Amino acid sequence: MKRQWTDSHTEMLRELYPVETIERTAEIIGFSRTTIKVKARKFGIVKGMNVEWLDKATVVRNNFDSHSFAEIADMIGATKTTVARIAGKLGLRRTRKENRHIRSRVRKDMVKREKRRVIFGFDPVTRIKVVTNRRRIRLRAELKAAGYIVERMANILYFKSEDCRNLNKENIASRHGLRFAPWPYEEEPLVNAI
């Protein structure tokens, strides 16, 4: 048997609907969510301003110019999509320059975090390569092109004979942590063969 909607249900709906969620209102009154929505529309009852949404909107407005959507989402405990929707409702927009500055700051922070993790011996979280010595990498490439044999994941470069050595570059490379040794094997290496 169907339950009948009464005036007492209407009064409860007028009290609860503006301040409670539809699910909670339906649970208290004892009707389905669809019935609650239909009756609210029929009687012209509208939802009041959600205090929680207003708090989130305040945080979004205050941090919109200086923080990324992900950072703001962490602050308010919501998703990036929710932050984007709130920003859209508030009419907040960023220029390309502002977006560029925020991305740059976030990237720098990420690199700093990764460097700290590497320094203290933890595994990296991202695939960002943070510990590099560009000059050493360039010197390795130049010496490899000059005929030195380079092993992967090692700072030792091998020379095949004393004739092909470049002592000037070797001295510079030694200052950057590279070491040199004669090729220990008899056969010709295939490392540099392309």
Is there a domain that residue 111 lies in?
no
Shared-domain flag, residues 35 and 61:
no
- How many domains does one find in the chain? 3
Cα dihedral sign for 55, 61, 65, 69? positive
Task: Return the number of other C-beta atoms located less than 10 Å from residue 191's C-beta.
Answer: 12
Is there a domain that residue 102 lies in?
no
Is the overall model pTM greater than 0.95, yes or no?
no
Is there a domain that residue 96 lies in?
no
Is there a domain that residue 118 lies in?
no
Quick one: pLDDT at residue 30? 92
Quick one: pLDDT at residue 39? 93
Q: What is the mean pLDDT of each run of 10 residues along the chain (194 residues)?
A: 86 89 91 93 86 91 95 95 94 95 94 82 80 77 85 78 81 85 71 50
Is there a domain that residue 2 lies in?
no
Is there a domain that residue 193 lies in?
no
CB 67 within 8 A of CB 102: yes
Which residue segment(s) compose the domain that 83 sits in?
A: 51-90
Is there a domain that residue 142 lies in?
yes
Shared-domain flag, residues 37 and 58:
no
Q: Which two tokens stand for residue 193?
A: 């063969």
Quick one: pLDDT at residue 194? 46
